[in-house]
Structure formats: C-alpha cells, structure tokens
Amino acid sequence: MVYKKVKAALIVAGLAFCATGAVSASQGMTGASGAMLSHTCAGCHGTDGASVGPASPTIAGLSRDYFIEVMLGFASGDVPSTIMDRIALGYSEEEIEAMADFFVKKPFVPAKQEFDQSLVDLGASLHDRHCERCHADGGTFADDDAGVLAGQWSPYLRWTLADYRAEYREGPARMHREMREMLEREGEKSLEALISYYASQQ
C-alpha cells in the first residue's frame, strides 16, 4: 500500500541520524538509567519524547502499562511496525520498564499541526459515539492504557488507523466493531474527521 512506502521513506530520513546510536547504546549497557537509554530515542521521538513529527509519534505522557505493552508487542511482532520491532529487540524488559518510567513522567506536548476545521465537529461527535468509552476525555486520557490520540501527529494516526482497519494491527474486538459501524454509517470521511478532531486539540 502506498502509505507504507511514504511512511518508510519518511522514517529512513530519521534512521540516518539515529539508527547507529540506537544500536550501540543498547548493547552492553547494563543498569543504564531510563534517562540515559532515552537519548537514543530522541532523534525520532524528540527531546523527552515530544516528537516534532510527522511519522514518529509522541511517546511522552503515555501510561506505563501501554508503553511497556506496545514495546513488548513490537519486539514480539504482535504490534506491527516499520522500525520499532528492530529497535525494541535491542532492549531487555528491565530497560523497557526504565524507559517507561522516564517517559511517562514527561508531558505529552500536543503537536502544532494543520487540520481541516470543517471536519472537527463531526470528528468530535464520532469520537463521543464510538471511541470515548476507551479513549476518555476526548482522547487525552492516558490511564485507560489505550495510547493518547488528542494532539498526536496526524500522519501517524492515519497510518495506525489504516493498520487497524486492515486488521494488520489487532485491537480490542469492540474497537474493530466500532470502527466498522462508523465506516458503514458515515463513510470514508469519518476517519479524516476523527483525525481532524484529534489534531485540533493543541
């Protein structure tokens, strides 16, 4: 699919800067602090996990459980990824926990990005109807262990939603059902409406 190629191209640009660091820093380092380990993530995820986008998500201020689960999911292949599988495999579970402890305390900084104002109200009502029960407070709430949607980079959300829709990434059965129902009722523009709503929260 086209979006995979575009995503890969955007990420390769980032890789040139940070892949070497990620490998060397994760090898032979035992007992390294979360802060030390997190330096290797900054090239793509920004200082303290606040990504300057657009292909790498912001990873600050997520919940600890979500952070650990998604990192282990990348490593095992349960969560599909373009590069995080290789990166996650470079760390022990303890190192992943140490990084989680570091990043969850940092603020989630909403991305400064453009969005389609005419779709925001529709996105807000679709969110309330189909997503709010598990992505509370308009998708800002981290502690329901489902990531943070509000203020996340739109290209990242677009790719991630496409992965769920294609059932390439497996989410809760109820989430797949809500997405299917929404797409049947409202059509393709519903996804862009949600993305505009999340991007409008700055």
Q: Does 163 bind ligand HEC (CB under 6 A)?
A: no
Find the binding residues for ligand HEC in span 46-75 (CB under 6 A).
Answer: 55-57, 59, 67, 70-71
**CB nearer to ligand HEC: pick between 41 and 122:** 41
Residues 86-145 touching ligand HEC, rule: CB under 6 A, are 87, 99, 130-131, 133-135
> Distance (Å, rounded) from C-alpha 121 to C-alpha 11?
32
Helix pair angle (189-200, 154-165), 10° resolution: 140
Min. distance of Cβ 117 from ligand HEC in angstroms? 19
Q: Which of 8, 18, 59 is nearest to 40 (CA)?
A: 18
> DSSP state, 58?
P
Six token digits for residue 182: 């929404």
Give CA 1 to chain center in angstroms.
20
What secondary structure does DSSP assign to 122-145, as a single string? HHHHHHHHHTTTTSHHHHT--TTS
For 10-21, letters b (16+ CB in 10 Å) and e give bbeeebeebbee
Q: Shortest Cβ distance from residue 120 to ligand HEC (Å)?
A: 14
Supply the minimum distance, in Å, between the C-beta of residue 118 and ligand HEC. 19
- Closer to ligand HEC by Cβ: residue 120 or 175: 175
Which chain residues interact with ligand HEC by CB under 6 A? 11, 14-15, 18-19, 22, 40-41, 43-45, 55-57, 59, 67, 70-71, 81-84, 87, 99, 130-131, 133-135, 146-147, 149, 157, 160-161, 171-172, 174-175, 178-179, 182, 194
